Copies of this chain bind each other. A is one copy, B any other.
Amino acid sequence: MSYAKYMPDLSHGDPADAAAVNALRSAVMRLGRRLKHQRVDESLSPTEMSVLGTLARCGSATPGELARKEHVQPPSMTRIVALLEAKGLVRLEPHPDDRRQKVVSQTETAEAMLEESRRKRNAWLASLAEGLDEDEWAKLRAAAPVLEKLAHL
């Protein structure tokens, strides 16, 4: 239940945290695999979906910026952006100040698709909810922003 009883003043390198990070690592990798299968839109890979999410938050970005944010190499992002463009989900425009760069932004189609995806995700959430109690969900809600921060660190 609580590590605090044994570790009242936790430093960040102690065994309790190491155990937590091990659990996190294992769970994140397994959940990642399940998410790949539970994906809401079969025609979009997880990273493509993530790029659309990033564009929805940031408005627009260059391929290089997207590669850094998604932690993939530039050639991989070139391919991902090309696939998204072929599907009509992003638009590519020349960069106003630097002719080497490009500006990627999402289309109205992508916006509509994300809205539709949200409803499908709710259905998946409901099926998971059967196995978790309210306290467990509260813990996930509290940790979600921290996981996001961790992913960006």
Q: Can you name the residue of chain B whose Cβ is closest to the Cβ of A145?
A: B23
Is A129 in contact with chain B by the CB < 8 A criterion? yes
Verify B151–A71 contact, CB threshold 8 A.
no
Q: Which of A33-57 contact B (CB under 8 A)?
A: 33-35, 37, 46-47, 50, 53
Verify A141–B17 contact, CB threshold 8 A.
yes
Partner of A24, one of B25, B26, B122, B147: B147
- What copy number does this chain have within its complex? 2
Given known contacts A29-B47, A147-B28, A17 and B137 CB-to-CB distance under 8 angstroms: yes
Is A20 in contact with chain B by the CB < 8 A criterion? yes
Verify B33–A125 contact, CB threshold 8 A.
no
Verify A141–B3 contact, CB threshold 8 A.
yes
Segment among A4-12, A85-93, A96-104 that sits at the interface with chain B: A4-12
Partner of A21, one of B3, B27, B125, B149: B125
Q: Can you name the residue of chain B whose Cβ is closest to the Cβ of A143?
A: B143
Counting chain A residues whose Cβ lies within 8 A of the other chain, the interface size class is 35 or more
Interchain CA distance A149-B61 in the complex, whole Å: 36
Verify B3–A147 contact, CB threshold 8 A.
no
Interchain nearest-CB distance for A47 vs B (Å): 7
Q: A residues engaging B (CB < 8 A)? A: 3, 6-13, 16-18, 20-35, 37, 46-47, 50, 53, 70-72, 118-119, 121-132, 134, 136-137, 139-153
CB<8 Å pairs between A and B, sample of 17: A13-B122, A13-B129, A17-B137, A17-B141, A22-B121, A23-B144, A23-B148, A24-B140, A24-B144, A25-B121, A26-B53, A26-B151, A31-B151, A128-B150, A131-B149, A139-B146, A140-B147
